[in-house]
A and B are shown apart, each in its own frame.
Chain A
Amino acid sequence: MARTISFSKALNEAMMQEMERDDSVFILGEDVAKMGGDFGITSGIWDRWPDRAFDTALSESAITGLSCGASVCGLRPVAELMFADFITVCYDQLVNNAAKLNYMYQGEASAQMVVRAVTGGGIRCAYHHSQCIEPWLMNIPGLVIVAPATPYEAKGLLVASIRNNNPVVFLEHKHLYNVKGEVPEELYEIPLYEAHVAREGADITIVAAMSMLKFAHKAADEMAAKGVSVEIINPRTIFPLDKETIKKSVAKTGRLVVVQEGPKVMGYGAEIGAMLGEELFEYLKAPIKRVTSLDTPVPFAPGMEDYVLPHYEDVITACNEVMAY
Chain B
Amino acid sequence: MSLSKEHLLKVYEDMLLIRRFEEEVEVYAKNGTIPGFIHLSIGQEAAQAGVVDVLKDTDYKFPDHRGHGAIVLSSKPEERKRCMSEIFAKATGINGGRGGSMHVHDLSVRNMGFNGIQGSTVVTALGTAFNSVYRKNDDVTVVFMGDGTLGEGTCHESLNMSATWKLPLIYVLINNQYAISTHYTEAHPQKQLSTWGLGYEVPSMTIDGNDIEEVIEVTQQAVDRARRGEGPTLIEMMSYRWQGHFSGDPAAYRPDGELEAWKEKDPLKITKQRLQENHGVSDAEIEAISERVETEIAEYVKFSLESPVPKPEDAVKYVYTDREVEGR
| A–B in direct contact per CB < 8 Å | yes
Q: List residues of chain A with CB under 8 Å of any chain B CB.
A: 26, 56-57, 59, 61-62, 64-75, 77, 92-93, 96-97, 102-110, 112, 141-142, 144, 164-166, 193, 240
Please, which residues of chain A bring their CB within 8 A of the CB of B122? Answer: 65
Q: Do the beta carbons of B128 and A103 come within 8 Å of each other?
A: no
Q: Looking across the interface, which residue of chain B has its beta carbon closest to that of A101?
A: B113
Min CB distance A155 to B, Å, is 20
B130 to chain A: which residues have CB within 8 Å? 66, 69-70
Whether B123 pairs with A105 at a CB distance below 8 angstroms is: no
CB of B105 closer than 8 Å to a CB of A: yes
Contact assessment for B319 and A102 in the assembled complex, using a CB-CB cutoff below 8 Å: yes
Q: How far is the CB of B126 from chain A (nearest CB, A)?
A: 4
CB atoms of A142 and B158 under 8 A apart: no
Given A102-B319, A104-B105, the answer on whether A66 and B98 have CB atoms closer than 8 Å is: no
Residue B112 is within 8 A (CB to CB) of chain A in the complex: yes
Segment touching A, from B68-76, B173-181, B212-220, B320-328: B320-328
Which residues of chain A come closer than 8 Å to B113, judged between CB atoms?
Answer: 104-105
Top 4 nearest A-B pairs by Cβ distance? A69-B127, A65-B123, A70-B127, A73-B131
**Min CB–CB distance A83 → chain B (angstroms):** 18
B124 and A57 contacting across the interface, CB-CB below 8 Å: no
Contacts A62-B126, A70-B131, A105-B113: A57 and B160 contacting too (C-beta < 8 A)?
Answer: yes
Q: Is the CB of B322 within 8 A of A166?
A: yes
B298 within 8 Å of A (CB atoms): no
Say if the beta carbon of B153 comes within 8 Å of chain A.
yes
Question: Contacts of A64 on B, CB cut-off 8 Å?
Answer: 123
Smallest CB separation, B230 vs chain A (Å)? 19
- What is the minimal beta-carbon distance from B159 to any residue of chain A, in angstroms? 10
Q: B52 at the A/B interface (Cβ < 8 Å)?
A: no
**B291 in the interface (beta carbon within 8 A):** no
Query: Which residue in A75, A97, A110 is a CB contact (below 8 Å) of B131?
Result: A75
Given contacts A70-B127, A73-B128, A93-B123, contact A105 B107 (CB under 8 A): yes
Contact with A along B86-129 (1 / 0, CB 8 A): 00000000011011000101010000110111011011111111
Of the candidates A93, A112, A142, the one whose C-beta lies within 8 Å of that of B319 is A142
**A144 neighbours in B (Cβ, 8 Å):** 320
Pairs across A and B, CB under 8 Å, 22 listed: A56-B161, A57-B157, A59-B157, A59-B160, A59-B161, A64-B123, A65-B124, A66-B161, A69-B124, A70-B127, A70-B130, A97-B117, A97-B120, A103-B98, A106-B96, A106-B317, A106-B318, A141-B325, A142-B320, A164-B322, A166-B321, A193-B323
Q: CA–CA, A109 to B125, complex, Å?
A: 15
Encode B285-327 as 1/0 by CB contact (under 8 A) with A. 0000000000000000000000000000000011111110100
